[in-house]
Structure 1
Amino acid sequence: MAITAANQLELLQTAEAVAREKMIDPDLVIQAMEESLARAAKSRYGAEMDIRVSIDRKTGKATFTRVRTVVEDEDLENYQAELTVEQAKQYLENPSVGDEIVDEVPPVDLGRIAAQSAKQVILQKVREAERDRQYEEFKDRVGTIINGIVKREEYGNIIVDVGRGEAILRRNEKIGRESYRPNDRIRAYVKDVRRETRGPQIFLSRTAPEFMAELFKMEVPEIYDGIIEIKAVARDPGSRAKIGVISYDNSIDPVGACVGMRGSRVQAVVGELQGEKIDIIPWNEDQATFLVNALQPAEVSKVVIDEEAQKIEVVVPDEQLSLAIGRRGQNVRLASQLTGLDIDILTEAEESARRQAEFAERTKLFVDALDLDEFFAQLLVAEGFTSLEEVAYVEMDELLSIEGVDEDTAGELQARARDVIEEQNRKALEAAKEMGVEQSLFDFEGLTPQMIEALAKDDVKTLEDFATCADWELAGGWTTVDGQRVKDEGLLEKFDVSLEEAQNLIMTARIQLGWVDPSELEGDAEDEGEEETAEEAEA
């Protein structure tokens, strides 16, 4: 198959037709043709030759050229595509390394095999260009809703025609047991677009919380305009959902706007989500208030927040427990997702029993350690004293403020508490020494003997061992495992050592050992201060 004048224009027409069909740039098709013709020409003239083909974009004429590059004598390897400076002098007046000598060669007559090879190259290049075009088009649509038509089902996954490409709705991204047949119309959320070897993969979802948020944006003009903002969404797809909204215009009720006249707006979303029940909740910056709203329709008696553990305890009347938890724990689970906090629900009876148990435990501590009668020990607990250290080292005035306590009684209380603490410290020191704790840890300021004993039980016996600890190992923390928050017990947690205190202790130990330069820490602190000042100035 030779490229004659008769079929030169046919090349351009073919390129235009393919580009139009695949919706890609015609120039990309012509470039693929040039590469395929060059490859075919190499099989005719020799694979080591650098043969290039240029197709005129107006006439369709294909020009075949042989290119040779000027290289240093010692770099000459390919005699067909390279030549030395001396050899190049017969073609150029003053040749230098890097110059190219271009000679036109006769067009090749493509045989059957060469023509087939050229066709494969063109198809491959066109496919690559088509994939690039699809990826560029859909990567900017991540986070939006797309409409498509169901093409087929593969192993429970739905293949969707989205116009200029195919998308996949995986089995676990479908709502409940919904099923689709070919040619059904479908609306879904573009969750991700990835560039893969088999082409761009477009992943859809109908269970993502963002899908519900985007549906509300389409139905509620105030959300689209930014007057109302969706702050949080939690879903049990196909069953129930909670959505937290806030209005930046005092004259507009965010809940009412999302519900619409006679529920028209929310019902449009419910219909798209296969009847999923939606609780629309007013957002509040105060976590406790927002949580009370999120647990509706249950009534809440009291909320206790543990900010360090990101955990909340909610106390509800006994008869409201099942309503607060919901069927199979659905209500409290969705409220937890919405607030981002772990929620423990207690009845008023359970909370009262726990408080009584804590009261009895602290009372027994004071009775046994300070040799007090039960009434006086209960009086201390009722006044908020929880440990021997508080009694021993509190200001005298705080003890004198307790009814019936004079200076002699307060002094005796503190003396007894200090004696007990000193005895406990003595025993802890002896135990730590028996376990082999080095003097460097005893000399370290900030650790009590009882703390050192607790560390030694976990094989932390030197200052070096202590300096390698992580802050959460000392103060404790929380880890998320399989979506559940799990408590990590800290070595010094029972001594009320906070995360910040643990960080300071560890850093002090590292400085003493020479592992950290204090001047570097000061420089980092100054940099952070400057950044904060700059942020405040911008604000």
Structure 2
Amino acid sequence: MANKEILLVAEVFSNEKEIDKEVVFQAIESALETATIKRHVNQIRARVSIDRKTGDYSTYRQWEVVAANDEVDGDVEFPTTQILLDVAQFDDPNAQVGDIIEEEIDSVDFGRIAAQTAKQVIIHKVREAERKKIVEAYQARVGELITGIVKRIEKGSVYLDLGGHIEAFIAKEDMIPREPVRIGDRIRGYLKDVRLEPRGPQLFVSRTAPELLIALFRLEVPEVGEGMISVMGAARDPGSRAKIAVKSNDPRLDPVGACVGMRGSRVQSVTNELSGERVDIILWNPSEAQFVINAMSPAEIQSIVVDEDKHSMDLAVNTENLSQAIGRGGQNVRLATQLTGWELNVIDASKAEKNSEAEAEKITQMFIDQLDVDADIAAILAEVGFNSVEEIAYVPVSEMLEIEGFDEDLVNELKSRAKDALLIIAIAAEEKRETATPAQDLLEMEGMDNDLAYDLASDGVITMEDLAEQSIDDVLKFSGMTEERAARLIMKAREPWFAEAKTK
């Protein structure tokens, strides 16, 4: 059946909606199939095929080839849409179960089909195509800055009109706290995700993501956009304060000054866009300790102690600057932690100095006792960074010769005494281990082995109760111990505590 009207409809919809003609043809085929099925009293299956060049179309009734169903006396369960294999093979010997058998039938007139049904099907298909087109267009823009006009506000969430009947969604938790937003306002956001959902394409935008801060600097600072300055990271307390780390790829360029701009114009533009959020621009440094010191700005750090194993740093600050270093509600140190990736602990410099002096005295006294040296030599060893007799025993001679006033004879004597001290300590520990006897409950505890039980006992941990009072670090020092096993053993030892608490 020929119908030039079909070609006209496909042309009009394709041009108006800017979608592929194939999508419109498929929609018309679906509408004709629906009309064909409705024309029959019984539910049938139908397929319509339109010639894309002439507009001619043909209609076919379909049956699925099935095996005999014993539950319905060897017949098919749905006679209007199914056909037995034996019957199908009369016309087509190659027919198999699951095949579709077709027979051409009279087509409905395109001009007389239910107009509403055709319209709904076509509009539905067109909308699906439009949604897919939007998703494809914006999928490549994830991670970019987008601008829209506030269309509506619902329970703190905001819908943006991006133009072309495209909406973006900013969830309440992605909005800057207490930010005054009104319908009609033009705002920017960071496109973090694009998903095709049943209600249409959803463009998820954030106003709180650190990436938004980076994108704004890329927009406001040409040197960042051109790659002359690299942004190494950002951390935010949305609406209150933020820190951004930058480094220059051109030794002649001051990255902090470029980001601040003339009289602070560039950073002020970013602050205005983020509802007054104060931004600290931090100079990135390849030395992690120096980077942390920079990140703690404007607080001045007196000294820093790095713990590589725990990936943490202790920062000593003068008493009068302590509150500034920590920040309101711990904001400054929290942002610096997020920016650098290190766990930062701010401590009072005077207390740190006292603790350091006490630790130095303790180490000095240990060297006096175990190496049988005078206080001056012991103090020098502690001052240059030695913390144990074992370090002195096995450190290369060349390193110790770098200590001012130390000659080869003195170094060799110290190393010899250190090895003797280690031997004495090992013998004493073995004797203590042999005489120390763990309690029966510790020996029989789940997860415990005999050697570990005796090692614990030699260290004064005799019973399960003793083990329950230990920390993970206390137990980690034993040979072959892992953090996971230490935690498991301690929790097992504490089970009686929990049982007792439940009975109260």
Specify if TM > 0.5: yes
Please say if 1:436 is aligned against 2:443: yes
SS of residue in 2 equivalent to 1:350: helix
Residues 298 and 158 (structure 1 numbering): CA distance in 2 closer, same or farther, change over 3 Å? Answer: same
Q: Tell me how far apart the structure 2 counterparts of residues 338 and 222 of structure 1 sit (CA, whole Å).
A: 21
Q: Tell me how far apart the structure 1 counterparts of residues 238 and 199 of structure 2 sit (CA, whole Å).
A: 31
Which structure 2 residues correspond to residues 484-523 of structure 1 after superposition, within 5 A?
489-490=472-473, 492-495=475-478, 502=481
Residues 91 and 101 in structure 1, CA contact (< 8 A), matched pair in contact too: no
Residues 345 and 435 (structure 1 numbering): CA distance in 2 closer, same or farther, change over 3 Å? Answer: closer
State the partner residue of 1:137: 137
Q: CA deviation at 1:355?
A: 2.5
Residues 442 and 452 in structure 1, CA contact (< 8 A), matched pair in contact too: no
State the partner residue of 1:239: 240
Residues 145 and 189 in structure 1, CA contact (< 8 A), matched pair in contact too: yes
Letter in 1 for 2:455: P
Q: CA deviation at 1:311?
A: 0.7
Residues 256 and 28 (structure 1 numbering): CA distance in 2 closer, same or farther, change over 3 Å? Answer: same
Cα deviation code 1:352-373 (max 9, x no counterpart): 2222454576689899x99x99
Q: Tell me how far apart the structure 1 counterparts of residues 196 and 279 of structure 2 sit (CA, whole Å).
A: 36
Please say if 1:53 is aligned against 2:36: no
SS of residue in 1 equivalent to 2:276: coil
Residues 392 and 413 in structure 1, CA contact (< 8 A), matched pair in contact too: no
Residues 364 and 382 in structure 2, CA contact (< 8 A), matched pair in contact too: no
Instruction: Pick one of 33, 43, 54 that aligns with 2:28.
Output: 33
Which structure 2 residues correspond to residues 126-525 of structure 1 after superposition, within 5 A?
126-164=126-164, 165-358=166-359, 382=382, 390=390, 417=425, 420-428=428-436, 430-431=437-438, 435-436=442-443, 441-442=449-450, 449-450=455-456, 489-490=472-473, 492-495=475-478, 502=481
Q: Tell me how far apart the structure 1 counterparts of residues 208 and 175 of structure 2 sit (CA, whole Å).
A: 6
413-422 or 329-338: which moved more? 413-422
Q: Tell me how far apart the structure 1 counterparts of residues 427 and 89 of structure 2 sit (CA, whole Å).
A: 104
Q: CA deviation at 1:259?
A: 2.6
Letter in 2 for 1:179: P
Q: Tell me how far apart the structure 1 counterparts of residues 451 and 213 of structure 2 sit (CA, whole Å).
A: 60
Residues 434 and 206 (structure 1 numbering): CA distance in 2 closer, same or farther, change over 3 Å? Answer: closer
Cα deviation code 1:444-482 (max 9, x no counterpart): 8xx9723887898669x9xxxxxxxxxxxxxx9xxxxxx
Q: CA deviation at 1:378?
A: 8.2
Q: Tell me how far apart the structure 2 counterparts of residues 155 and 504 of structure 1 sit (CA, whole Å).
A: 46
Residues 390 and 419 in structure 2, CA contact (< 8 A), matched pair in contact too: no
Q: Report the RMSD for the aligned CA atoms in angstroms.
A: 4.8
Cα deviation code 1:244-284 (max 9, x no counterpart): 11222223222233233443433332232233222222211
Letter in 2 for 1:154: E
Q: Tell me how far apart the structure 1 counterparts of residues 50 and 210 of structure 2 sit (CA, whole Å).
A: 52
431-440 or 237-246: which moved more? 431-440
Letter in 2 for 1:229: S
Letter in 1 for 2:433: N
45-54 or 281-290: which moved more? 45-54
Residues 132 and 453 (structure 1 numbering): CA distance in 2 closer, same or farther, change over 3 Å? Answer: farther
Counting aligned pairs with the same residue, the percent is 41
SS of residue in 2 equivalent to 1:230: strand
Letter in 2 for 1:240: R
Q: CA deviation at 1:503?
A: 6.2
Residues 454 and 47 (structure 1 numbering): CA distance in 2 closer, same or farther, change over 3 Å? Answer: farther
Residues 172 and 412 (structure 1 numbering): CA distance in 2 closer, same or farther, change over 3 Å? Answer: closer
SS of residue in 2 equivalent to 1:214: helix
Q: CA deviation at 1:228?
A: 1.9
SS of residue in 1 equivalent to 2:202: strand
Q: Tell me how far apart the structure 1 counterparts of residues 321 and 430 of structure 2 sit (CA, whole Å).
A: 49
Q: CA deviation at 1:182?
A: 2.3
Letter in 2 for 1:268: S
Residues 392 and 417 in structure 1, CA contact (< 8 A), matched pair in contact too: no
Residues 440 and 71 (structure 1 numbering): CA distance in 2 closer, same or farther, change over 3 Å? Answer: closer
Cα deviation code 1:385-424 (max 9, x no counterpart): 767x8599889x99x959x9999x9899668745653453
Q: CA deviation at 1:296?
A: 1.8
Q: Tell me how far apart the structure 2 counterparts of residues 334 and 48 of structure 1 sit (CA, whole Å).
A: 66
Residues 391 and 413 in structure 1, CA contact (< 8 A), matched pair in contact too: no
Residues 40 and 110 in structure 1, CA contact (< 8 A), matched pair in contact too: no
Q: CA deviation at 1:63?
A: 2.5
Residues 179 and 239 in structure 2, CA contact (< 8 A), matched pair in contact too: no
Residues 263 and 177 (structure 1 numbering): CA distance in 2 closer, same or farther, change over 3 Å? Answer: same
Q: Tell me how far apart the structure 2 counterparts of residues 89 and 418 of structure 1 sit (CA, whole Å).
A: 91
Q: CA deviation at 1:47?
A: 5.1
Q: Tell me how far apart the structure 2 counterparts of residues 195 and 34 of structure 1 sit (CA, whole Å).
A: 25
SS of residue in 1 equivalent to 2:438: helix
Q: CA deviation at 1:135?
A: 1.9
Q: Tell me how far apart the structure 1 counterparts of residues 142 and 184 of structure 2 sit (CA, whole Å).
A: 24
Q: CA deviation at 1:227?
A: 2.7
Residues 284 and 413 (structure 1 numbering): CA distance in 2 closer, same or farther, change over 3 Å? Answer: closer
Q: CA deviation at 1:329?
A: 2.5
Letter in 1 for 2:198: T
Residues 392 and 187 (structure 1 numbering): CA distance in 2 closer, same or farther, change over 3 Å? Answer: closer
Q: CA deviation at 1:333?
A: 1.9
Q: Tell me how far apart the structure 2 counterparts of residues 246 and 392 of structure 1 sit (CA, whole Å).
A: 41
Residues 441 and 464 in structure 2, CA contact (< 8 A), matched pair in contact too: no
State the partner residue of 1:64: 59
Letter in 1 for 2:443: G
Q: Tell me how far apart the structure 1 counterparts of residues 113 and 424 of structure 2 sit (CA, whole Å).
A: 103
Q: CA deviation at 1:505?
A: 12
Residues 88 and 95 in structure 1, CA contact (< 8 A), matched pair in contact too: no
Letter in 2 for 1:435: L
Residues 405 and 334 (structure 1 numbering): CA distance in 2 closer, same or farther, change over 3 Å? Answer: closer
Letter in 1 for 2:125: K
155-164 or 118-127: which moved more? 118-127
State the partner residue of 1:464: none
Q: Tell me how far apart the structure 2 counterparts of residues 43 and 455 of structure 1 sit (CA, whole Å).
A: 84
Q: CA deviation at 1:288?
A: 0.5
Residues 161 and 167 in structure 1, CA contact (< 8 A), matched pair in contact too: yes
160-169 or 74-83: which moved more? 74-83
5+ long unaligned stretches in structure 1: 462-475, 477-487, 507-539
Q: CA deviation at 1:236?
A: 2.0
Q: CA deviation at 1:15?
A: 4.2
**TM-score calculated relative to the size of structure 1:** 0.70
5+ long unaligned stretches in structure 2: 401-408, 486-504
Letter in 1 for 2:472: E
Residues 28 and 113 (structure 1 numbering): CA distance in 2 closer, same or farther, change over 3 Å? Answer: closer
Residues 50 and 68 in structure 1, CA contact (< 8 A), matched pair in contact too: yes
Q: CA deviation at 1:72?
A: 6.9
Residues 244 and 282 in structure 2, CA contact (< 8 A), matched pair in contact too: yes
State the partner residue of 2:495: none
